[in-house]
Amino acid sequence: MKRLISLVAVMTALGALAGCQNLGVQPWERDLLAKPVMTPGAADGLDDALDDHIYFSKEASSGGRGFGGGGCGCN
Amino acid sequence: MKKMLDGKKIGAGLAAATCSLLGQPAIAQDSTDAWQFDSAVLYYSEQDRVTAVEPVVRAKKQFQDESELEMKLTLDTLTGASHNGAITSDKPQTFTSPSGNSSYQVTNEVPLDDAFKDTRVAANMQYTRPFTRNLRWTGGLNFSNEYDFTSLGLNAGLLWDLNNKNTTLTFGVAHEADTIDPVGGSPVGLTFQSDEDKTDGSEDKSINDFLIGMTQVINRRWIMQLNYNLSISDGYHTDPYKIVTVVDANGDPLEAESFGANDIGAGDAQVFELRPDSRTKNALYWENRYHFNRDVLAVGYRFMSDDWGITSHTLDVKYRFQFDNGWYLQPHVRWYDQSQADFYKESITASELTSLQNSQGEVSADYRLGNLTDTTYGFKVGKEWANNQQLSLRVESFTQSGDSDASELDALITQVGYTFYW
């Protein structure tokens, strides 16, 4: 299962990367993308970090958005 | 035209749009010479259980050489009561406090240990610096300390911009070293709580994390991020304050003395839990952000599975209604579902205890390792001024539901945030 997930992840990343050359915008088309609200991880300020901390201590999952370690004795 | 596009403002914008390092991306502000301060106070309150008050302040600055420094300080004060792991029974059950100095009895209610009180201080620092036109490195330090727990972590990463900065690849590694020093000592797993069989000294855990990520601009309105995170931890994973009830054929709590253990009261057959000494987690995370004419939709999905037998799905949706004069309203829905760990049991029988003791098998009745479905819904309202100051209020309702009474939990999440430049 672990290997399968790793394989799928790598294949998806490689496939996406190859296809990505046709995606995207020119530098002068970044008016909307340049806004903080369009930046994954930064759009909601401190909310993500606070949420990760809450859910790390109440659920058995962590990581994905960033690293999985919690730096917390709550779980 | 070319000259203008290479200008600093656009450069900062590009970095902000494409850089999403380990969830801590570049500053997307015009105020390049000022420090950006994000501050927030979180008030988290569970019905009848834990209350947490958590003030956070984060300072960020982008320097002339486009390097970036980020520092964050978090204070976390916890009070209230926490489920001790035992079943909910209409027969009385007797427990000892974590320190072992006192005992308490519970009947007809979810057994809670009300000695739950802690203050956590956490500090994080992250520095990111470009070293070629398309490559940036980053390094960070994390420290956190609470009464019975200390954590020290460091991370390093590489960000690689490709396809005219429409694609950013992220490679990251992190190491975390945790020290656990339980109140009253570390209990010997699967022994009776009434015997207070504990060892002095602290326990350790180390976590190694690997992250590969890709952020991709799809078109002028749509950006996507895909992360894969592998987390391998070794050491002490047991919760030293959690127990498992030993029950008879009717599901009623047994007596410790019938196993030759100390008698401290009725229904005192409660054994300390024991978890595996390693865990490997795999997480895939996929985030999408789409900009309508004014509004923004954000959809995140995470799939996680680990070698404890837990599989989880998390769906997170936010929609930001952008109004005139900088006001916005952002409803938020989060849905989470997990399957139980292989060693999760709400309670065990006397024969199950014997076979666990003989094989040094693992068992935990911590509802957070059981089947669980959580929902969060709420909203955030905010106002942004022309000088980039921002004030926001977030109110959300969080509900947990699983197989046991202990897993039924309601909490309120309230947060006030303020961003300014100085």
Instruction: Tell me whether residue B358 is exposed, middle or buried, using C-beta atoms within 10 angstroms of its C-beta: 0 to 12, 13 to 18, 19 or more.
Output: exposed
Give the residue from B37, B49, B62, B220 with the most A CB atoms within 10 Å of its CB, the best one to mutate: B220
Q: Name the pLDDT band for B11 (thresholds 50, 70, 90).
A: very low
Interchain CB contact of B418 with A (< 8 Å): no
A69 and B26 in contact by Cβ < 8 A? Answer: no
Contact B97, B104 (CB under 8 A): yes
Task: Reply yes or no on whether the pLDDT at B22 is more than 60.
Answer: no
Count of domains forming chain B: 1
**Count of CB atoms situated within 10 Å of the CB of A19:** 10
Q: Could you say which of B174, B216, B312 has the minimum Cβ distance to residue A60?
A: B312
Estimate to the nearest angstrom the gap between the alpha carbon of B312 and the chain centroid: 14
Q: Name the pLDDT band for A23 (thresholds 50, 70, 90).
A: confident
Of the listed ranges A65-74, B113-122, B309-318, B319-328, the least confidently predicted one is A65-74
If you count them, how many residues does chain A have? 75
pLDDT at B86: 98
CB-CB neighbors (< 8 A) of A29 in chain B:
220
Interatomic CA distance for residues B162 and A7, integer angstroms: 23
Strands (E), B236-362: 243-247, 270-272, 278-291, 296-306, 311-322, 327-338, 348-349
Q: Could you say which of B40, B72, B155 has the minimum Cβ distance to residue A67?
A: B155
CATH number at residue B222: 2.40.160.40
Q: Could you say which of B174, B296, B308 has the minimum Cβ distance to residue A38?
A: B296
CB-CB neighbors (< 8 A) of A43 in chain B:
289, 296, 298
- Distance, in angstroms, between A68 CA and closest chain B CA? 6
Predicted ipTM of the assembly = 0.90
Handedness of CA B341, B371, B151, A6 (dihedral sign): positive
**Interior angle at CA A9, CA B216 and CA B129, nearest 5:** 50
Q: Is residue B247 in some structural domain?
A: no
pLDDT at B226: 97
Place of tokens 């047994």: B254
Contact B25, A40 (CB under 8 A): yes
Query: Euclidean distance between the first and final Cα of chain A, in Å?
Result: 25
pLDDT at B13: 39
In angstroms, the Cα distances linking B187 to B73, B198, B272, B416, B419 are: 32, 4, 7, 40, 45
The mean of the pLDDT values for chain B is 92
Chain A CA closest to residue B58: A46
In angstroms, the Cα distances linking A16 to A41, B212, B303 are: 21, 13, 18
Each as own residue / partner, the long-range contacts of residues B127-134 (CB below 8 Å, 24 or more positions apart, any chain) are B127/B67, B127/B68, B127/B69, B127/B70, B128/B19, B128/B21, B128/B26, B128/B67, B128/B68, B128/B70, B128/B159, B129/B65, B129/B66, B129/B67, B129/B68, B130/B65, B130/B66, B130/B67, B134/B160, B134/B161, B134/B162, B134/B165
pLDDT at B8: 40
Interface contacts (A, B; CB < 8 Å) = 272
Number of H helices, E strands in chain B: 3, 23
B228 and A54 in contact by Cβ < 8 A? Answer: no
pLDDT at B223: 97
Q: Is residue A27 in some structural domain?
A: no
A5 and B17 in contact by Cβ < 8 A? Answer: no
Q: Is residue B34 in some structural domain?
A: yes
Q: Provide, rounded to the nearest whole percent, the portion of chain B with pLDDT above 90.
A: 87
CB-CB neighbors (< 8 A) of A64 in chain B:
227, 229, 283-285, 302, 304, 314
Q: pLDDT by residue (tens digit) across B54-104? A: 999 999 999 999 999 999 999 999 999 999 999 999 999 999 998 888 999
Q: Name the pLDDT band for A1 (thresholds 50, 70, 90).
A: low
**Count of CB atoms situated within 10 Å of the CB of B323:** 11
Handedness of CA B205, B199, B360, B312 (dihedral sign): negative
Instruction: Read off the tokens for B199.
Output: 């060892």
DSSP code, position B24: -
Task: Reply yes or no on whether the pLDDT at B179 is more than 90.
Answer: yes
Given phi > 0 = left and psi -120 to 50 = alpha, else beta, which region is B164? left
Interatomic CA distance for residues B329 and B332, integer angstroms: 10
Q: pLDDT by residue (tens digit) across B338-395? A: 999 999 999 999 999 999 999 989 999 999 999 999 999 999 999 999 888 999 999 9
Interatomic CA distance for residues B234 and A65, integer angstroms: 22
Q: Which of residues 24-53 of A touch B (CB under 8 A)?
A: 24-51, 53
CB-CB neighbors (< 8 A) of A69 in chain B:
151, 153, 174, 176, 207, 209, 231, 233
Q: pLDDT by residue (tens digit) across A28-39? A: 999 999 999 999
Q: Is residue A28 in some structural domain?
A: no
Query: Euclidean distance between the first and final Cα of chain B, in Å?
Result: 32
Task: Reply yes or no on whether the pLDDT at B7 is more than 70.
Answer: no
Q: Name the pLDDT band for B4 (thresholds 50, 70, 90).
A: very low
Count of domains forming chain A: 1
Of the listed ranges A21-35, B16-30, B129-143, B397-411, the least confidently predicted one is B16-30
Q: Name the pLDDT band for A71 (thresholds 50, 70, 90).
A: confident
**In angstroms, how far apart are the furthest CA atoms of chain B?**
86
Of the listed ranges A9-13, B54-58, B155-159, the least confidently predicted one is A9-13
Q: Is residue B360 in some structural domain?
A: no
B207 and A69 in contact by Cβ < 8 A? Answer: yes
Q: Is residue B264 in some structural domain?
A: no
Interatomic CA distance for residues B377 and B413, integer angstroms: 10
CB-CB neighbors (< 8 A) of A26 in chain B:
164
Domain limits for position A45 = 36-60
Domain limits for position B169 = 2-81+120-235+277-342+365-421
Give the residue from A50, A56, A67 with the most B CB atoms within 10 Å of its CB, the best one to mutate: A67
Residue (of A67, A28, A34, A74) closest to B285 by Cα position? A67
Q: Is residue A46 in some structural domain?
A: yes
Place of tokens 């109004």: B323
3-class SS of residue B121: strand
Q: What is the dihedral of CA B336, B342, B347, B350, to 10 degrees?
A: 180
Q: Is residue B93 in some structural domain?
A: no
Interatomic CA distance for residues B368 and B339, integer angstroms: 10
DSSP per residue, B196-260: T-EE-S-EEEEEEEEEEEEEEEEETTEEEEEEEEEEEEEE----TT-EEEEE-TTS-B--GGGGT
